[in-house]
């Protein structure tokens, strides 16, 4: 008779949190080395991982480290030695690992890490903000933002597949909204081991493997004669990650029988005049608000970015050019930036520059520190975008929504 | 005048203060006449390593705009004056930031001047300096490599003398009066001013013709394109080992074929194989694994790899078995054991001659390195009886 755990692990529908799904990805991907250091909300994944190991359902080296810095260094080195690795952190813990985060990307090591998105201190806070994950966006890290526990299957498995592709060899962060996704249970269809094996080949470090039989030096000192070429290689790898991701996503769809867009999740956009844009779990209140606004005859849609790195510039330009106006909702901030908007807003604006047809773009900062994005908030933002579209006039003011005062 | 550019080539850390003092004082002398200038160290030499070749640079211009025009190129590609404060550097310069082994005169302009502090004569010293296709001048200031830049040692006036030599090479930089005044303000004593004046009057640069000098081809390497380099900041390891000189017996460790390290050396060990008891201590203690094991069990210091630290001499329990000798008296980097194998009598003569001419007195008590630690007797002036180096006037 199958044990409860065995039943739970089988392919099929389960009630799981986003963190728990990530732990299943580790098990299904047969990760070799995992390091942990406690900080919420990411640490829930380690509770599930250690439980799998303790119950004998999963075999991996599980190392509780002395700090986030050590935690990320250990898996970085393990990755250089050919181990498939997993780790993660949140908020300022993730930032304490910033040195290994930078060198992991610099050394082109395919680490996969869960960022349980959390506000950066101070004040000490643990609700969702995206600034922690976003801080690695310029370093060569790939970053995706799942919006449901189910999507963690796709983005988690793609993370390993793309990161470990020799054309890429870059780390990937799975940026999961704290509480809304890390701690919330939903029904999830888990894939079977055979499907995962068919999709995800073993990690092969090739001739870059750090091993006594393959004498190499990694991470030497280099002067100005060499560094720019190294950076150029990383840029090429980041470009390749786009192509490889498309390829891998096509395989994923075939093997797992899914039908999603690799980069963008569009909702009710076919006849939409305006859309709201953003990343992560705010898609849920946005979708519901859109349904309600549709009843009032307002043609609003949603375009959600699944991947922030690689940034789907072409897809986004093509998509957003269809609308009169676009509102970008940031669950982050970029103080002092153009129009004092958020990171996603500025990035989308930059991507749209020079497109044949550029919609008016308006930025919103919303839901900081784990504050809920309410249906009224979404409707308020949509109305502003609608009126910007109707007036056919640029509105560069970035509005803070849901803030007192 | 337009712009005058110069470099000071020195041994990292040990001569840094000296090099900085030369570079700064020259600029400050020109500033006295309203000429702007800049002085800077090669950034990638920092943090400096003990004894590893490093560079200071300087520009002097007629006006700010002229200065900006040259300073827009951070590191000078050509200089009017190269000042070398250790003659062992004349064999080539290999910085730790690795630009490859470069000739000492690599950036000296055609017709420019190379100033060297040395006890060698021009004809001898030029044998160490890589030949090139354009002429240049060589000016020798008599003296050993100065460690005056280390504050614990007596100032030997090398700074003031190099300044005067530089001005002699490019007299349009400023007047001797401005230089003397800058020396007074920035270095200190009338003795220094006097030392400078002597050099200014007596220095006689000689013309070095194209093709004259060391015929070794300077080491070159290819800077790979980004798509030719290995990914992941990976470089091939230097692995393995082979028999002595690739033969059957003995042992030679694998070594990086591109990075030789020997240009860090100011002195080299000379080994008496007659006295050697094969105790292995030099081989064990050498921090650079530079001793090759010969087929008959001796230990042969590899002259491509030896940094000249002197640990082998210090640890050797046999009297006069290993002797550190000034690098400047050698013209080759041959295997001593092979020389000895070929002709034991000749090798003994070679050894005796080198030890006699290149024996190092006044070694640094901590680093053990060579240098004029006793100074040339500035406190007593240029007294030929107390000064080890002849004053220029007597040459």
Give the range of the structural domain holding residue B317, as residue numbers without chain letter: 241-257+267-358
Report yes or no: A220 at the B interface, CB cutoff 8 Å.
yes
Residues B134 and B23 in one domain: yes
**According to DSSP H, which parts of B5-143 are helical?**
16-31, 64-71, 122-125
- Asked whether residue B235 is domain-assigned, the answer is no
- Asked whether residue B142 is domain-assigned, the answer is yes
Residues B245 and B120 in one domain: no
Residue with tokens 């079977």: A192
The residue-averaged pLDDT of A164-174 equals 98
A360-366/A325-330 β-pairing = parallel
Q: Among residues of chain B, what percentage have pLDDT more than 70?
A: 88
Residues B51 and B191 in one domain: yes
User: Within 13 Å of residue A209, how many CA atoms lie on the same side as its CB?
Assistant: 12
**Which chain B residues in 86-145 lie under 8 Å from chain A, judged by CB atoms?**
97-99
The residue-averaged pLDDT of B44-50 equals 80
- Asked whether residue B387 is domain-assigned, the answer is no
For A283, the token pair is 């898609």
**What does the pLDDT read at residue B394?**
39
Sign of the torsion formed by the C-alpha atoms of A273, A279, A282 and A288: positive
For CATH 3.40.50.970, the residue range(s) in chain A are: 4-256
Confidence label for B150 from pLDDT (cuts 50, 70 and 90): low
User: Within 13 Å of residue A262, how many CA atoms lie on the same side as its CB?
Assistant: 23
Residues B204 and B245 in one domain: no
d(C-alpha A129, C-alpha B312), whole Å: 61
d(C-alpha B109, C-alpha B94), whole Å: 20
d(C-alpha A219, C-alpha B368), whole Å: 33
Write the pLDDT tens digit of every residue in A1-12: 444 454 445 789
- Asked whether residue B98 is domain-assigned, the answer is yes
d(C-alpha A262, C-alpha A312), whole Å: 9
| Contact criterion met (CB below 8 Å) for A62 and A49 | yes
**What does the pLDDT read at residue B147?**
74
Considering only CB atoms, B237 lies closest to which of A106, A217, A236, namely: A217
C-alpha distance from residue B181 to each of B156, B178, B225, B266 (Å):
19, 5, 51, 34
Residue of A150, A233, A388 lying closest to B224 (CA atoms): A233
- Asked whether residue B173 is domain-assigned, the answer is yes
**What does the pLDDT read at residue B13?**
86
| Contact criterion met (CB below 8 Å) for B134 and B110 | yes
Residues B20 and B85 in one domain: yes
- Asked whether residue B221 is domain-assigned, the answer is no
Write the pLDDT tens digit of every residue in B160-183: 999 999 999 999 999 999 999 999
Average pLDDT of chain B is: 87
d(C-alpha A76, C-alpha A33), whole Å: 10
The residue ranking higher by pLDDT, A348 or B375, is A348
d(C-alpha B54, C-alpha B71), whole Å: 20
Residues B287 and B201 in one domain: no
Q: For residue B359, is pLDDT > 50?
A: yes
Interface test with B, best of A82, A207, A209, A240 (most B CBs within 10 A): A207
Residues B141 and B250 in one domain: no
Contact (CB<8Å) B233/A230: yes
Q: How many CB pairs under 8 A join A and B?
A: 62
Write the pLDDT tens digit of every residue in B302-321: 999 998 888 999 999 999 99
Closest CA–CA distance from residue A223 to any residue of chain B (Å): 6
Report yes or no: A233 at the B interface, CB cutoff 8 Å.
yes
Which fold is adopted by the domain A264-401?
A: Rossmann fold (3.40.50)
Confidence label for B239 from pLDDT (cuts 50, 70 and 90): confident
Chain B residue with the nearest C-alpha to that of A221: B97
**What does the pLDDT read at residue B372?**
41
Q: For residue A30, is pLDDT > 90?
A: yes
Chain A residue with the nearest C-alpha to that of B46: A223
Considering only CB atoms, A108 lies closest to which of B227, B232, B238, namely: B232
Q: For residue A278, is pLDDT > 80?
A: yes
**What does the pLDDT read at residue A77?**
98
| Contact criterion met (CB below 8 Å) for A310 and A338 | no
Residues B158 and B291 in one domain: no
User: Coil, helix or strand for B19?
Assistant: helix
d(C-alpha B222, C-alpha B340), whole Å: 37
Highest mean pLDDT among A218-222, A289-293, B309-313: A289-293
| Contact criterion met (CB below 8 Å) for A69 and A93 | no
Contact (CB<8Å) A223/B230: no
CATH of the domain at B326: 3.30.70
Q: Which residues of B touch A229 (CB under 8 A)?
A: 224-226, 229
Contact (CB<8Å) A216/B98: no
**What does the pLDDT read at residue B218?**
79
d(C-alpha A28, C-alpha A23), whole Å: 9
d(C-alpha B304, C-alpha B281), whole Å: 20
Interface ipTM: 0.89
A266: exposed, middle or buried (C-beta count within 10 Å: 0-12, 13-18, 19+)?
A: middle
For CATH 3.40.50.920, the residue range(s) in chain A are: 264-401
Q: How much of chain A is helix, strand and coil, in % rounded to 5?
A: 40, 20, 40
Average pLDDT of chain A is: 95
**Which chain B residues in 192-231 lie under 8 Å from chain A, judged by CB atoms?**
223-227, 229-231
Sign of the torsion formed by the C-alpha atoms of B174, B175, B180 and B185: negative
Chain A residue with the nearest C-alpha to that of B236: A216
CATH of the domain at B81: 3.40.920.10
Write the pLDDT tens digit of every residue in B76-127: 899 999 999 999 999 998 877 666 788 999 999 999 999 999 988 999 999 9
Least confident of A206-210, B148-152, B240-244: B148-152
Closest CA–CA distance from residue A168 to any residue of chain B (Å): 10
Q: For residue B368, is pLDDT > 70?
A: no
- Asked whether residue B220 is domain-assigned, the answer is no
The residue ranking higher by pLDDT, B283 or B382, is B283
Closest CA–CA distance from residue B45 to any residue of chain A (Å): 10
Residue with tokens 């996603």: A344
CA B300, chain centre distance (Å): 24
**Whether residue B57 has a cis bond before it, omega within 30° of 0:** no
CATH hierarchy code of domain A4-256:
3.40.50.970
Closest CA–CA distance from residue B323 to any residue of chain A (Å): 34
Write the pLDDT tens digit of every residue in B266-304: 889 999 999 999 999 999 999 989 999 999 999 999 999
Q: Which residues of B touch A228 (CB under 8 A)?
A: 226
Residues B199 and B284 in one domain: no
Report yes or no: A229 at the B interface, CB cutoff 8 Å.
yes
**Which chain A residues in 107-146 lie under 8 Å from chain B, judged by CB atoms?**
107-109
**Number of domain units in chain B:** 2
- Asked whether residue B306 is domain-assigned, the answer is yes
d(C-alpha B165, C-alpha B140), whole Å: 9
């Amino acid at each position: 008779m199958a044990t409860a755990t065995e039943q739970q692990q089988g392919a099929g529908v389960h009630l799981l949190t986003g963190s728990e799904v990530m732990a299943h990805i580790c098990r299904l991907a047969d990760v070799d080395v995992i390091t942990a250091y406690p900080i919420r909300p990411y640490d829930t994944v380690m509770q599930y991982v250690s439980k799998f190991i303790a119950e004998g359902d999963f075999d991996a080296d599980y190392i509780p480290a002395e700090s986030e810095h050590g935690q990320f260094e250990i898996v970085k080195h393990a990755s250089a030695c050919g181990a498939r690795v997993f780790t993660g952190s949140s908020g300022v813990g993730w930032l304490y690992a910033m040195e290994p985060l930078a060198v992991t990307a610099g050394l082109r090591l395919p680490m996969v890490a869960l960022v349980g998105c959390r506000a950066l201190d101070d004040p000490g806070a643990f609700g969702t903000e995206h600034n922690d994950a976003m801080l690695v966006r310029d370093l060569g890290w790939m970053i995706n933002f799942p919006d449901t526990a189910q999507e963690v299957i796709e983005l988690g498995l793609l993370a390993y597949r793309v990161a470990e592709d020799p054309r890429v060899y870059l780390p990937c962060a799975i940026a999961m909204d704290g509480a809304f996704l890390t701690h919330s249970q939903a029904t999830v269809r888990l894939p079977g081991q055979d499907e995962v094996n068919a999709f995800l080949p073993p990690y092969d470090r090739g001739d870059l493997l750090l091993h006594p039989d393959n004498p190499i030096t990694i991470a030497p000192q280099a002067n100005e004669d060499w560094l720019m070429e190294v950076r150029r290689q990383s840029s090429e790898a980041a470009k390749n990650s786009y192509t490889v991701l498309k390829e891998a996503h096509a395989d994923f769809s075939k093997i797992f029988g899914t039908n999603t867009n690799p980069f963008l999740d569009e909702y009710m956009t076919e006849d939409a005049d305006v859309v709201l844009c953003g990343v992560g779990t705010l898609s849920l209140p946005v979708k519901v608000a859109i349904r309600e606004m549709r009843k009032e005859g307002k043609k609003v849609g949603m375009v959600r970015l699944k991947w922030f790195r690689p940034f789907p510039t072409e897809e986004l330009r093509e998509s957003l050019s269809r609308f009169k106006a676009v509102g970008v909702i940031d669950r982050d901030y970029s103080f002092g930036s153009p129009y004092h908007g958020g990171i996603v807003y500025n990035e989308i604006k930059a991507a749209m520059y020079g497109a044949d047809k550029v919609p008016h773009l308006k930025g919103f900062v919303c839901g900081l520190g784990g504050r809920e994005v309410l249906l009224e908030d979404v409707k308020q933002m949509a109305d502003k975008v609608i009126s910007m579209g109707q007036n056919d006039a640029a509105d560069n003011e970035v509005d803070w929504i849901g803030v007192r005062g | 005048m337009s712009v005058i550019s110069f470099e000071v080539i020195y041994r990292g850390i040990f001569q840094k203060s000296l090099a900085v003092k030369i570079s700064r004082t020259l600029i400050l002398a020109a500033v006295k006449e309203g000429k702007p200038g800049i002085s800077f160290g090669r950034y990638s030499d920092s943090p400096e390593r003990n004894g590893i070749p490093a560079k200071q640079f300087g520009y002097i211009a007629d006006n700010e705009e002229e200065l900006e025009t040259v300073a827009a190129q951070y590191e000078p590609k050509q200089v009017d004056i190269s000042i070398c404060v250790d003659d062992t550097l004349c064999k080539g310069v290999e910085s730790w930031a690795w630009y490859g082994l470069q000739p000492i005169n690599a950036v000296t302009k055609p017709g420019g001047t190379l100033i060297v502090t040395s006890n060698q004569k021009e004809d001898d010293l030029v044998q160490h300096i890589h030949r090139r296709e354009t002429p240049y001048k060589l000016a020798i200031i008599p003296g050993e490599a100065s460690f005056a830049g280390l504050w614990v040692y007596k100032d030997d006036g090398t700074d003031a003398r190099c300044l005067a030599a530089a001005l002699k090479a490019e007299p349009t930089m400023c007047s001797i009066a401005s230089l003397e005044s800058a020396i007074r303000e920035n270095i200190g004593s009338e003795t220094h001013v006097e030392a400078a004046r002597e050099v200014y009057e007596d220095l006689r640069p000689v013309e070095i013709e194209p093709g004259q000098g060391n015929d070794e081809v300077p080491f070159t390497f290819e800077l790979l394109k980004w798509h030719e380099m290995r990914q992941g900041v990976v470089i091939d390891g230097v692995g393995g080992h082979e028999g002595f000189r690739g033969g059957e017996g003995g042992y030679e460790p694998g070594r990086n074929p591109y990075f030789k390290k020997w240009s860090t050396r100011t002195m080299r060990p000379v080994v008496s194989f007659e006295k050697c008891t094969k105790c292995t201590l030099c081989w064990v203690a050498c921090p650079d694994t530079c001793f090759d094991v010969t087929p008959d069990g001796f230990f042969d210091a590899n002259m491509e790899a030896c940094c000249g630290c002197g640990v082998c001499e210090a640890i050797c329990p046999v009297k006069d078995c290993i002797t550190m000798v000034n690098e400047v008296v050698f013209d080759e980097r041959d295997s001593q054991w092979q020389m000895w194998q070929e002709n034991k009598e000749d090798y003994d003569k070679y050894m005796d001659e080198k030890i006699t001419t290149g024996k190092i007195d006044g070694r640094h008590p901590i680093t053990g390195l060579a240098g004029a630690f006793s100074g040339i007797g500035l406190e007593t002036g240029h007294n030929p009886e107390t000064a080890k180096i002849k004053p220029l006037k007597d040459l």
